[in-house]
């Protein structure tokens, strides 16, 4: 059973959270991406809260800027360091002493999770990443790989000042296109039924600028003639190493984040288990939740 709780963090940010399981149990924390919200994890929250599957306390926040959670107006409030602050504080509020059983993340949630794992490895027993590039391989490919540069051009649309209005037009036509176009040969999308569409509309109707500010706050996007973007930055090696055991699940048909991003991952993540899902797209959690749950469950029991 999914419950709802608004959790206010010591630094003043409030996150609307979805929870399943019993307080006092080991915690699994789930982080969503763009243009989603915490509801995308409901099947996994329910699964892992069951005693037969570990009996965890499973928590998925709406990240700052999304669906009722605090949405600061300042673009700088969406820098990765602020997201790390949120996730760290939320973890400590949920489980002050014991490490997370796992931090599970997708897309922009993964951008935060990679950094939390790098900066605060003691907060978790393990990290689970689903189609979210490690900052080292992402920066490498944004700088040097024409395939990734082309695949990420949508980011330069999302930072436009009028992006919210354009995305909301015609019943969010452009946002539905994100789900339809970010896969191989525009499919499969059977999961995008009327019920799921209604859940997305309910999120988007609460505003899109917070979600768009993630892109505006980050230089990790393809360069343009008037904007050096990713080419203007270099990340020190100490910001890239992940010492915690890490599971990466990658839908190989992700057209926004092509599989070249997992090449060289072991250079940054020495304790790595990698699962390639041949027919999975960027929306793997929607498409194959049972498979994702099984892979994560087997890894947690390792």
List residues bridging with 102 in a β-sheet.
28
Q: Where are the domains of the chain?
A: 3-300
222 in Cβ contact with 230 (< 8 Å) = yes
pLDDT of residue 240: 96
pTM above 0.95, yes or no: yes
**In the predicted structure, residue 15 carries a pLDDT above the cut 70:** yes
Q: What is the pLDDT of residues 186-229, one digit of tens each?
A: 455 789 999 999 999 999 999 999 999 999 999 999 999 999 99
Q: What is the pLDDT of residues 246-268, one digit of tens each?
A: 999 999 999 999 999 999 999 99
pLDDT of residue 183: 57
**In the predicted structure, residue 184 carries a pLDDT above the cut 60:** no
pLDDT of residue 187: 52
Distances, alpha carbon 296 to alpha carbons 103, 167, 290, in Å: 11, 34, 10
Task: Report the CATH number of the 3-300 domain.
Answer: 3.40.50.1820
């Amino acid at each position: 059973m999914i419950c709802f709780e608004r959790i206010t963090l010591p630094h003043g940010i409030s996150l609307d959270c979805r929870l399943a399981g019993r307080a006092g149990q080991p915690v699994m924390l789930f982080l969503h991406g763009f243009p989603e919200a915490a509801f995308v994890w409901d099947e996994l929250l329910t699964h892992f809260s069951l005693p037969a599957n570990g009996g965890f306390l499973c928590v998925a926040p709406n990240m700052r800027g999304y669906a009722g959670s605090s949405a600061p107006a300042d673009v700088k409030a969406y820098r990765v360091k602020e997201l790390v602050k949120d996730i760290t504080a939320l973890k400590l509020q949920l489980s002050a002493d014991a490490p997370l059983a796992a931090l599970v993340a997708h897309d922009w949630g993964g951008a935060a999770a990679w950094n939390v794992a790098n900066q605060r490895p003691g907060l978790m027993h393990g990290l689970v990443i689903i189609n979210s590039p490690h900052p080292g391989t992402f920066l490498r490919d944004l700088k040097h790989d024409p395939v990734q540069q082309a695949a990420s051009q949508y980011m330069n649309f999302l930072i436009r000042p009028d992006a919210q209005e354009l995305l909301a037009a015609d019943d969010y036509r452009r946002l539905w296109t994100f789900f339809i176009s970010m896969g191989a040969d525009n499919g499969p999308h059977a999961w995008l039924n009327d019920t799921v569409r209604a859940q997305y509309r309910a999120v988007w109707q609460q505003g899109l600028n917070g979600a768009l500010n993630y892109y505006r706050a980050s230089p990790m996007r393809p360069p343009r003639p008037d904007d050096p973007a990713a080419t203007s930055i270099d990340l020190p090696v100490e910001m890239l190493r992940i010492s915690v055991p890490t599971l990466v699940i990658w839908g190989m048909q992700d057209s926004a984040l092509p599989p070249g991003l997992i090449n060289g991952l072991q250079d940054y993540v020495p304790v790595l288990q990698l699962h390639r899902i041949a027919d999975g797209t960027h929306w793997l959690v929607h498409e194959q939740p049972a498979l994702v749950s099984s892979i994560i469950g087997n890894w947690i029991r390792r």
